[in-house]
Amino acid sequence: MNAPLPRTRQHLPKRTVSIIGTGSHVPERVLTNAELEKMVETSDEWIVTRTGIRERRIAGPEETTSEMAAKAAMAALENAGIGAEEIDLILVATVTPDMFFPSTACFVQAKIGATRAACFDLSAACSGFLYALEVAQQFITSHTYSTILVIGADKLSSIVDWKDRNTCVLFGDGAGAAVLRHRAGGHGVVATHMGSNGNLADILHIPGGGCLNPVTSQNFDQRLNTIRMNGKETYKQAVTAMLSAAQAVLEESGLRFEDLACIIPHQANLRIIEAIADRMKLPLEKFMINLDRFGNTSAAAVAIALDEANRTGRMQVGEYVLLVVFGGGLTWASSVIQW
Ligand code: ACO
């Protein structure tokens, strides 16, 4: 006769997952539009009217992605009121890891002393933070882990072509973090939606540096290791994907746009956010916007905005918040959280 199967976690009820703390970090160095005017043929007026960006933060040589991520993580732990030794898993969403391996999450672990944690990185470009949030959610819901540190961090200045005015004016560096934990009877993530379209990889990508176009002096001379973007197509896809992702997650949550207290979108371009607000028939004031100060920080953008919304009291307990993102891949994601 077979021995009885061990009792698995699947017998346990699903759990609500709450964000119990947030944190962020940006480098001190500010790069203004006026400075960019001296680097490429552009103007403050062009950048502000086409993007809404006025300045961005640029990390120095010692300020790696893991360095910024660790600082954001420490702020999130302090905000949550817990110690690093309580973390079971560290997830870092990034497209600019310190190295191909070890993972940036492992570097963060060493920097913050989260000795009990398992660590790995996740790649979904600008959508990475919400992808990581959903992965973390599943681990907690299934009782695999109790406390997870989710980080979105990128040093895009290291992969920008500083001679290409089409892209170099858009991006900045930074990191944002959130601590996730089950909170009995508490509010938390209501629903999450994720999507991808690999057929449109070409409109926003870095062709070199991987195994397809490895680092050779020829590939380097052609700047294959820097961001390539079809701006117009990216803009169109971003508006469509973010809107449908928002609609999908609201439907799953049984909510309407007017039920939302705050919308925290990917911080790429003010015109994209305005277009979405218009289609949702919501006032722009409901949207958390900080891209004027930080530009597009990729996976960090929505995480930094979430932290700012948290610390400035934009979200009250019990209110519904929508996070919605878009990035290379193409990838997109949305999440409704009852704060
Ligand atoms: N300064 C001055 N002129 C510029 C600049 C610049 N920095 N960049 C481009 N131009 C020029 C172009 O060369 C073009 O000149 P041309 O007509 O002589 O060829 C002209 O301005 C118009 O260019 P467009 O591409 O038509 O400008 P558009 O209005 O589309 O705005 C922009 C460009 C801001 C990039 C816009 O397309 C956009 O925001 N796209 C989405 C980008 C984005 O969000 N990317 C990231 C999302 S995903 C992620 O976060 C990774």
The pLDDT of residue 186:
67
Q: Assess whether 166 and 212 both reside in one domain.
A: no
Ligand 1 mean position, distance from CA 90 (Å): 36
Q: Would residue 166 count as lying in a domain?
A: yes
Nearest to 169, CA basis, from 277, 61, 49:
49
Q: 271 and 144: one domain?
A: no
202 and 261 together in one domain: yes
254 and 214 part of one domain: yes
Same domain as 224, residue 168: no
The number of the ligand 1 atom at minimal distance from the alpha carbon of 36 is: 7
Q: What six digits make up the tokens of 77?
A: 């732990």
Alpha-helical runs (H) found in the chain: 33-37, 44-51, 65-80, 104-112, 128-141, 165-168, 217-221, 231-253, 270-280, 291-294, 301-311
C-alpha to C-alpha distance for 71 and 93, rounded to whole angstroms: 15
At 104 the pLDDT is: 98
CA–CA separation, 31 and 35 (whole Å)? 6
On whether both 155 and 286 belong to a single domain, the answer is no
Pocket test for ligand 1, best of 54, 96, 235 (most atoms within 8 A of CB): 235
Final residue before a domain boundary, out of 185, 204, 231: 185
119: CA distance to ligand 1 center in Å?
37
Q: Residue 287 corresponds to which amino acid?
A: F
List all residues whose CB is within 6 A of at least one atom of ligand 1.
42, 46-47, 50-51, 125-126, 165-166, 169, 204, 229, 231-232, 234-235, 238, 268-269, 272, 296, 298, 326-328
Beta pairing partners, 287 = 263
Residues 18 and 90 placed together within one structural domain of the fold? yes
pTM over 0.85: yes
Please report the DSSP string for 15-42 in residue order.
--EEEEEEEEE--S-EEEHHHHHTTSS-
- The whole-number pLDDT of residue 1 equals 47
Whether 232 and 177 map to the same domain: the answer is no
What CATH number should be reported for the domain holding residue 316?
3.40.47.10
Q: What confidence score (pLDDT) does residue 11 get?
A: 60
Strand order in the sheet with 331-338: 189-196, 331-338, 320-327, 260-265
pLDDT of residue 5: 46
Residues 138-183 pLDDT 10s: 999 999 999 999 999 999 999 999 999 999 999 999 999 999 999 8
Q: 160 CA distance to ligand 1 centroid (A)?
A: 15
| pLDDT value of position 16 | 86
Q: Running DSSP on this structure, what letter comes out for residue 60? A: -
Determine which residue's CA is closest to atom 31 belonging to ligand 1: 50
Does 5 fall in a domain? Answer: no
Indicate which residues carry an active-site annotation.
126, 266, 296
Enclosing domain of residue 79:
14-185
Tell me how far the alpha carbon of residue 162 lies from the centroid of ligand 1, in angstroms: 15
- Taking only the tens place, the pLDDT of each residue in 205-230 is 999 999 999 989 999 988 999 999 99
Whether 316 and 326 have beta carbons less than 8 Å apart is answered as no
Q: Which of 185, 219, 241 is the last residue of a domain?
A: 185
Among protein residues, the one with the nearest Cα to ligand 1's atom 13 is 166
Task: Find out whether 330 and 124 touch, Cβ atoms under 8 Å.
Answer: no
- Predicted pLDDT at 118: 98
Which residue's C-alpha comes closest to atom 3 of ligand 1?
Answer: 42
Which stretches of the chain drop beneath a pLDDT of 50? Answer: 1, 5-6
Instruction: Classify residue 6: in a domain, yes or no.
Output: no
Question: Do the beta carbons of residue 160 and residue 40 sit within 8 Å?
Answer: no
**pLDDT given at position 3:** 53
Residue 178 forms part of a structural domain: yes
State in Å: Cα 46 to ligand 1 middle: 9
Q: Which of 173, 269, 291 to mutate to test the pocket of ligand 1 (most atoms within 8 A of CB)?
A: 269
**Which residue has the least CA distance to atom 48 on ligand 1?**
327
